[in-house]
Structure 1
Amino acid sequence: MTDKIAVTPRSLSVRGHPLLARLVEQGFEIVYPAPGETPSEEDLLRAIPGCVGWLAGVEPISLRVLDAAKELRVISRNGTGTDNVDVQEAEKRGIAVERAMGANARGVAELSIGLLLAAARHIPWSHDQLSRGEWRRRIGQELRGRTLSVIGCGAIGREVAHMATGLGMSVIGYDPYPDPRNITENFRYARLDEAMTAADAVSFHCPPGDRPILDAPMLERMRKGVIVVNTARSELIDETAMLAALDSGRVATLATDVFPQEPPKPSPLLAHERVILTPHAGGFTEESVERATSVAIDNLLRVLVRR
């Protein structure tokens, strides 16, 4: 019987990808639990049993799925985050969890800067007004001389900081493990509290914790008119508090690429005129998909085909 590998990232399952041929050449059969969609737990429970490998996206991987994956030897993420899977529980079952470190960093960073510029100059709002035949303007902001706080200074955060300093911004970085080699002109590290309250704009590039970083008390202490960009995880932001902050003007614009459920359900927050939305597209560039897929496949084969 041919060993199976499940492929679940939407960027790969909707049409496949030429690089997946490497798995077929090694004798594996590829299965797609939910082509073009984020698979549900039931989708995974039907497809994962019998698979020895899994090229995984951001879909939640429950303990029920891990328990059912009796033959699974490796979960290979096509990105960096592993908060969608309990790594310790996977490893208890003899399942290696691999990550494509830094593969999509440039793509996510460029989208983050794009969202920052779109927020500062009200680009989506202006487009919407003109497309409806209305000539209206909102005064924007120039980014040079303003302060951006980058929360999480891994591969993505470092790229964002580099691009922002290139725009003439001062950048404050927060990371629980600051790397002094990252300190350059117009970049410095600070504690989380200072980074959040000293910024004209904040960009998130960290995993979620036990509670949101951006909750009502923190929002009250931040600069009025702050721009918030989130291309990391939706759990970093308290949605109720954010809606109130947008209504009051405490937050000028929220630009987000991530949602508690994807596709997201309609909500007052997502419908707010000062919210910019993109469909979890940070790593969805030709180059990022190519790099992430290549690294994820390398990681699968390293575990499954030992030389």
Structure 2
Amino acid sequence: MNAFVISTSSFNIDNNPAIQHLLQKGMRAIPNPYRRKLTEDEIIGLLNDGAVGLIAGIEPLTERVFQSAKKLKVISRCGTGLDSVDLTAAKNHGITVLNTPEAPAQAVAELTLGLILASLRQIGQIDQSIRKGEWPRTQGRLLAAQTIGIIGMGYIGRRVARLCQAFEATVIAHDPYTNQILADVTLMPLEQLLATADIISLHMPYTPDTHHLLDAQAFAIMKPEAIVINAARGGLVDENALAQALKTGKLAAAALDVFEQEPYQGPLIESNQIILTSHIGSLARESRQRMEIEAAENLLQGLIKTGLIND
């Protein structure tokens, strides 16, 4: 019996029409038993149980995985980024790779806005002070008075720009892959953006070229009270350099939803100037439902095209 793996940490199988269609066709679903991001060995183990399809999370899908998964024909990424997939190796093994680029965009954009507002008004620190019996009268900063620098103007970056503009903030952007721009957003080189922006928000894919895009040198260019937001991909920020920049007062604050190693256990946990969230960018109920439905539909259509199941 053909099978498909669902490697995401959670997935609503019962209320997904495409998944139910696959099950009715006699296919077997293999869920993620660990309910967390899988290692390379763990995904190999699941795929080796006769899987022809995969609804993928952010586990490493490498040449080694594809060499082992002899029957695998279709990968449907439940989300936007494909940086965890060796696309060249997948092509060489005749594996189709699909994703859901628009489904999580609004959820990630709204989380980004929340992280920006929480950082500016120091909401987390004030909450903790009150719980200790204090009554701080902390003076924050207005989003309307800030210049927001968005690095990456794809589906998510454009939404973040519009949300910030609704608060009357000035928006500047850097994106080496596009000349298309929203109204009232100024494109500029990266170093100019880093020196100009009060808040820098990352919305780029992770590649070898963007590894530690924000490092000690980048932090040195920024304004003394700059805020860094990363709800894109771990690895874009040098976390040790960020911890040092916060400790020395070079940066005012930061907020990270993604990390190089997850779950995160690094030095940023000790800083009270940073907001840490557990890779929840797409985890808004409505967005997650849409993303799962689109990912399952992509898998279904991919398997139909390969001839593994009938329509």
Q: TM-score, normalised by structure 1?
A: 0.94
Correspondence for 1:40: 39
Displacement, 1:286?
Answer: 1.0
Partner of 2:302: 303
Which of the residues 190, 194, 200 maps onto 1:196?
194
Structure 2 match to 1:84? 84
Distance in 2 (CA, whole Å) between partners of 1:209 and 1:270 is 26
Matches within 5 A, 1:46-57: 46-49=45-48, 50-57=50-57
- For residue 15 of structure 2, the aligned residue among 15, 18, 27 is 18
Q: Distance in 2 between matches of 1:275 and 1:145?
A: 21
Q: Distance in 1 between matches of 2:80 and 2:223?
A: 31
Question: How many residues in Structure 1 have an aligned counterpart in Structure 2?
Answer: 301
For 2:182, give the aligned amino acid: I
- Larger deviation: 66-75 or 134-143? 134-143
Deviation of 1:235 after TM superposition, in Å, equals: 0.7
Q: Which residue of 1 aligns with 2:26?
A: 27
3-state DSSP of counterpart to 2:160: helix
- Counterpart position of 2:280: 281
With 162-171 and 189-198 compared, the bigger mean Cα shift is at 189-198
Distance 2:300 2:204 in 1: 28
1:263 is matched with which residue? 263
Shift of 1:16: 4.1
Describe the superposition over 1:199-231 as per-residue Cα deviations: whole angstroms up to 9, x where unpaired.
000110101243311111111111111111100
**Structure 2 gap segments, 5+ residues each:** 306-310
Distance 1:48 1:61 in 2: 11
Q: What letter corresponds to residue 176 of structure 1 in structure 2?
A: P
Question: In the alignment, is residue 242 of structure 1 matched against residue 242 of structure 2?
Answer: yes
Q: In 1, distance between residues paired with 2:62 and 2:161? A: 34
Matched letter for residue 213 of structure 2:
I
Unpaired runs of at least 5, structure 1: none
Report the equivalent of 2:143.
143
Tell me by how many angstroms 1:17 deviates: 4.8
1:15-57, Cα deviation, whole Å (9 max, x unpaired)? 6451132331333210013342222223212210210000001
Scaled by the length of structure 2, what TM-score is found? Answer: 0.93
Rounded to whole Å, the distance in 1 between the matches of 2:284 and 2:84 is 22
Cα displacement string for residues 151-198 of structure 1 (whole angstroms, at most 9, x for unaligned residues): 110000000000000011111111112243x3313x121111111211
1:282 shift after superposition: 0.5
The aligned amino acid for 2:280 is A
Which amino acid is 1:18 matched to?
A: N
CA distance, structure 1, for counterparts of residue 269 and residue 99 of structure 2? 31
Q: Secondary structure at the match of 1:229?
A: strand
Tell me the alpha carbon deviations over residues 42-97 of structure 1, each in whole angstroms, 9 at most, x when there is no partner: 32122102100000011122322111110000111011111111111011001111
Q: Work out whether residues 33 and 43 of structure 1, in 8 Å CA contact, stay in contact via their aligned partners in 2.
A: no
Residue 224 (structure 1) aligned with residue 221 (structure 2): no
CA distance in 2, matches of 1:5, 1:233: 26
For residue 223 of structure 2, give the secondary structure of its aligned residue in structure 1: coil
Q: 1:107 offset after TM fit, Å?
A: 0.1
Q: Which contiguous aligned blocks of 4+ residues in structure 1 show a shift greater than 3 angstroms? A: none
Mark the CA change 1:111 to 1:201 in structure 2 (over 3 Å): closer, same or farther. Answer: same
User: Percent identity among equivalent residues?
Assistant: 36
Q: Is the 8 A contact 1:11 1:284 kept in 2?
A: no
User: Residues 245-297 of structure 1: CA distance to partner in whole angstroms, max 9, x if unpaired?
Assistant: 101212111100001122122x2212211010111000001111111111111
- RMSD value over aligned CA atoms? 1.5
1:257 maps to amino acid: D
1:172 counterpart residue number: 172
Asked if 1:111 is matched to 2:108, the reply is no
Give the match's secondary structure for 1:305: helix
